Each structure stands twice: as structure tokens, then as C-alpha cells.
Chains A and B, each alone.
Chain A
Amino acid sequence: DSGVTQTPKHLITATGQRVTLRCSPRSGDLSVYWYQQSLDQGLQFLIQYYNGEERAKGNILERFSAQQFPDLHSELNLSSLELGDSALYFCASSVGGRGAGETQYFGPGTRLLVL
């Protein structure tokens, strides 16, 4: 158990809908990252938050948004869902601010299926 929690574990929804994925980082971690894992794209970085502020953006679609709350939990909002958004979405957390050597610990993931 990494200490990172994600809810829900599974999500089935229809095209055009909107969903919210939730993540609680490890105790003491200030940085939260979101990654998407799909068969065709592999594991891709979406976005990073550090202590409530957006730190970096990766290949995140405009239909997707995220935020980190004062209690450091984070939510990833996916809207106008398309079939191609079906994927495993990971949240990871790290202490924050220690550079390249900082280990990111991953949550169990949310498996999203868009029908």
C-alpha cells in the first residue's frame, strides 16, 4: 500500500458525460501528479500541483481540468467524454520541492470506461 488513495476504482459512463476522479496523497506529501495510461499512448503525464498551485502541465486536454484543495487532496475533472478517454488514471504524490531524485508514489488508479 503506497498510502495514496484514489476513488472510485472503476467508473463506467457514456460519451458526453462528465466525471470527477478523486485523490488523497500520502501524509506529508505536497505534490500531486495525474497520469493517464492507455494502450496506445502508454503512461502520460497530465498535470502537477504543489501545495495547492498548478506547477506543470503535460498532455492534458482542454476538456480536462484539475485542482488541489487546501487539505491537499486533488480532483481531476473529465468532461465531454469521448470513447478515447477510456483509460487508467493514476494519481501520484511526492514530498515536493526536492528535484529529480524525489520518488513519486502511485495510487491504485481509477479505471474509466466510456461507452
Chain B
Amino acid sequence: AQKITQTQPGMFVQEKEAVTLDCTYDTSDPSYGLFWYKQPSSGEMIFLIYQGSYDQQNATEGRYSLNFQKARKSANLVISASQLGDSAMYFCAMREGFQGAQKLVFGQGTRLTINP
């Protein structure tokens, strides 16, 4: 079963606009963490933001914020005032619980292109 779903294979946005990248997840574990990573064309994976399942407030990191809707099992990434350097692949990932495999499960990614 797909645990992380990113339904937007590609998105095109004008520079300086805000953009929302969608992510839904599936888990029965009450304790989990949700992560967003950015992968530019150079290939490295850059950690952007984290949201814990017990966090009461949405996470924010600079221009990145996470719209966490627990009941809907969604964790959308919002990038405000987009810049040309934001063009990249974006991956949503989940890590479950305290026991067992501490692995990240990734979605298929969304390719974001910022147009000047």
C-alpha cells in the first residue's frame, strides 16, 4: 500500500508567487514524523522541514511552512514568494514510530519549475 502520495508530478509557478505541494500519507501508528526534502538538479537531498504527529502547530522554516491536517492525513508544503532557485524535485517522506525500522518512506516527488 502506498504510504506517501504526491499527486502532482509537475508544477509550474511564476516567480514570487506562493506554491503548495500536496502530500497525503497513510499510517495507523499514532507517532510519526513527516519530512520534506528538496532535490535540485545537482542531485543532493536537502532537508527542508519537519512536522511531528503530536505537534499542535504547523511547522515553519523561513519561506517554508507545512500545512498539517491530521484528520485528512495531509502534510502539504507551502513555499512563499517563490524564487528561481526553488526549481527542483520535492519529496515528502514519513517515518513511523519509535520501534522497528527507522526508515523514511518517500513519495514519488513533485517537480517544481519556477518561471521568471
Q: A interface vs B, CB < 8 Å?
A: 2, 31, 33, 35, 42-45, 48, 55-58, 88, 90, 92, 94, 99-109, 111
Q: With CB as the reference atom, state the residue of chain B lying closest to A107.
A: B44
Q: Does B41 contact A (CB under 8 A)?
A: no
Contact assessment for B97 and A58 in the assembled complex, using a CB-CB cutoff below 8 Å: no
Given A58-B103, A99-B98, A106-B45, 12 additional A-B pairs, CB 8 A: A2-B44, A33-B104, A42-B109, A43-B91, A56-B102, A56-B103, A101-B50, A101-B52, A104-B35, A108-B43, A109-B43, A111-B43
Q: With CB as the reference atom, state the residue of chain A lying closest to B96.
A: A100
Closest 9 CB pairs of A and B: A56-B101, A99-B98, A106-B45, A45-B103, A43-B106, A100-B33, A101-B33, A108-B44, A101-B52
**Which secondary structure characterizes the binding site on chain A?**
strand
Contact assessment for A90 and B108 in the assembled complex, using a CB-CB cutoff below 8 Å: no
Q: Does B100 contact A (CB under 8 A)?
A: yes
Contact assessment for B101 and A48 in the assembled complex, using a CB-CB cutoff below 8 Å: yes
Q: Does B53 contact A (CB under 8 A)?
A: yes
Contact assessment for B32 and A100 in the assembled complex, using a CB-CB cutoff below 8 Å: yes
Chain A to chain B contacts (Cβ below 8 Å), 29 pairs = A31-B102, A33-B102, A42-B106, A43-B104, A43-B106, A45-B103, A56-B101, A56-B103, A58-B101, A58-B103, A88-B43, A99-B98, A100-B32, A100-B52, A100-B53, A100-B95, A100-B98, A101-B50, A101-B52, A102-B33, A103-B50, A104-B95, A104-B104, A105-B47, A106-B37, A106-B45, A107-B44, A108-B44, A109-B44
